[in-house]
Amino acid sequence: MTLAEHPAVPADHLLGVYSRAPLAFERGRGARLYTAEGEAYLDCLAGIATTGLGHAHPKLVKALEDQAEKLWHVSNIFRIPGQEALAGRLTASTFADVVFFTNSGTEAVECALKMARKFHWANGNPERIDVIGFEGAFHGRSYAAVHAAGNPHYTEGFGPALPGYVQLPFGDMEALDAAVGPTTAAIIIEPVQGEGGARAVPETCLTQLRKLCDERGVLLIYDEIQCGMGRTGKLFAHEWAPDATPDIMCVAKALGGGFPVGACLATAHAAAGMTVGSHGSTYGGNPLAMAVGIAAFDEISRPETLQHVRDLAGFFTQGLKGLQDRYPDVIADIRGKGLLIGVKLIPNNREFMALARDQHLLVAGGGDNCVRLLPPLVMTTEEASEALAKLEQACEAVRAKAAAT
Ligand SMILES: *Cc1c(COP(=O)(O)O)cnc(C)c1O
């Protein structure tokens, strides 16, 4: 479309960057969303893996309400006890020693990339600036994040490419071995790709990556913004792989259960270059975000929650494989890890999403013609059965449509 063809002002006055479903919700509870007219939808996308504990979880609502009456914001020029409490929890359960809190995943990625370059600069290796990323990755929408992921749809038209970013094919360990050199600062990877279509990096690859980074003096950054916080049935997805901890890790989405918060976790070693004044944020880690973050962390990190995720993931996968057997003309592949499930389709994934919506089932899109199932971690088995039945109806609708044309 040329500029002249554009409507001068869209009716909703919103920048036209989203392809939105024609639906609005008024309230939610657990895995259900309700329109203003009271129509219920089963939520199998959880705000893109963000409302991990479902909608209006009583413990999160209480934490937010209690904090809202006490204190909203003070600035990071003061100690914020909630940050110390959540950082304590995050470091006690991971490889990390220190945490920087942000408002979003993108900002956590931005912090990780800056930290990696600063590490080498502070160590007397300022030539180490290159960040290696992988095809199909998504790391957010800032300049650095779009170049780290390298998806041309997100970089095209936005000016010259940032220097120091390298893209490699997904899972190509040979290409990686050849690409890592004396100017490499870091490798950034999602242990399970989200937007790219629920593709899990094989556990042996993560272990190999860790080894390669150690041998070559390169920092390993995990983007666990989507696959972390219980989504795969472990607190973080890389825990499935032996000896594969990163130096730096980005977390967000389910960390705040729907309240905007992100975090960049690091070892003391990797964070050594980040001295006073080198980074900061106005809102990052403010008391409201921390109150909700602590409540969400305590709920998600419970062994019972993580066990439930593993059980429910098994139930979904088995049901979906059954569907694939019955509808080989609709479903091409089932993949992903835990409750980050990709269903690769034969018909167009956007059309399938609309047919699922007709059944009052909400699923997310994804790369490689997938739809992603990202149910809340607390979805019940009964709700999961209902989701599978609705998916079957959607498969039937695909057939009916094909027969009619
Ligand atoms: C959503 C997402 C981001 C970006 O997070 P925002 O909060 O939208 O900035 C980055 N990486 C991954 C893997 C994501 O899923």
Any ligand 1 atom below 6 A from CB of 375: no
| Domain membership flag for residue 22 | no
> pLDDT tier at 8 (50, 70, 90 boundaries)?
confident
166: in domain: yes
Q: Are residues 208 and 275 in the same domain?
A: yes
Give yes or no for residue 191 CB within 6 A of ligand 1. no
5 domain-assigned: no
Examine the domain organization and report whether 258 and 334 are in the same domain. no
Q: Is the same domain home to 220 and 335?
A: no
* 172-197 b/e (C-beta count within 10 Å ≥ 16 → b): eeeebeeebeeebbbbbbbbbbbbbb
* Residue 4 scores a pLDDT above 80: no
- Both 322 and 370 in a single domain? yes
- Ligand 1 and 104: CB distance under 6 A: yes
Q: Which residue among 300, 332, 367 closes a domain?
A: 300
Quick one: 16 exposed, middle or buried, by C-beta within 10 A (0-12, 13-18, 19+)?
Answer: exposed
Pocket test for ligand 1, best of 253, 255, 372 (most atoms within 8 A of CB): 253
Quick one: 113 and 225 in the same domain?
A: yes
Residues 295, 272 within the same domain? yes
Share of the chain above pLDDT 70, in %: 98
pLDDT above 80 for 1: no
- The arithmetic mean of pLDDT across residues 313-325, rounded, is 98
pLDDT tens, residue by residue, 62-94: 999 999 999 999 999 999 999 999 999 999 999
Measure 4 CA to ligand 1 centroid, in angstroms: 33
Q: Are residues 266 and 331 in the same domain?
A: no
pLDDT tens for 32-45 read: 999 999 999 999 99
Are 37 and 97 contained in the same domain? no
For 147-196, what is each residue's pLDDT tens digit? 999 999 999 999 999 999 999 999 899 999 999 999 999 999 999 999 99
Say if 61 falls within a structural domain: no
Question: For residue range 323-366, what is the model confidence (pLDDT) as tens digits?
Answer: 999 999 999 999 999 999 999 999 999 999 999 999 999 999 99
Residue 3 resides in a domain: no
Instruction: With a cut of 70, say whether residue 7 has pLDDT above it.
Output: no
* Ligand 1 in reach of 194 Cβ (< 6 A): yes
**Ligand 1: distance of its center to the CA of 384 in Å?**
25
Catalytic residue among 95, 119, 134, 138: 138
Diameter of the chain by CA atoms? 68
Over residues 204-246, the pLDDT tens digits come to 999 999 999 999 999 999 999 999 999 999 999 999 999 999 9
What CATH code is carried by the domain that includes residue 44? 3.90.1150.10
pTM of the model: 0.97
Is 110's C-beta closer than 6 angstroms to any atom of ligand 1? no
The answer to whether 273 and 185 are in contact (CB under 8 A) is: no
**Distance (Å) from CA 263 to ligand 1 centroid:** 11
Quote the pLDDT of residue 250.
99
CA distance 250 to 113: 10
196 and 220 assigned to the same domain:
yes
Are 128 and 213 contained in the same domain? yes
Q: Is 359 in the pocket of ligand 1 (CB under 6 A)?
A: no
Pair (260, 147) in one structural domain: yes
Residues 285 and 315 in one domain: no
Domain holding 196, by residue range, is 71-300
Residue 278 confidence (pLDDT) above 70: yes
List the catalytic residue out of 253, 337, 344, 390.
253
pLDDT at 3 over 70: no
Q: Is residue 170 flagged as an active site residue?
A: no
Domain end position, chosen among 300, 318, 349: 300
- The answer to whether residue 17 is domain-embedded is no
Whether pLDDT at 251 is above 70 = yes
Q: How confident is the model at residue 405 (pLDDT cuts 50, 70, 90)?
A: confident
How confident is the model at residue 9, as a pLDDT?
87
Last residue of a domain, one of 300, 325, 353: 300
Q: Kindly state whether residue 63 falls inside one of the protein's structural domains.
A: no
Question: Mean pLDDT in the chain?
Answer: 97
Number of domains present in the structure of the chain: 2
The residue whose CA is least distant from atom 6 of ligand 1 is 105
151 in contact with ligand 1, CB cutoff 6 A:
no
Active site residue 223: yes
Set 43, 130, 223, 247: catalytic member: 223
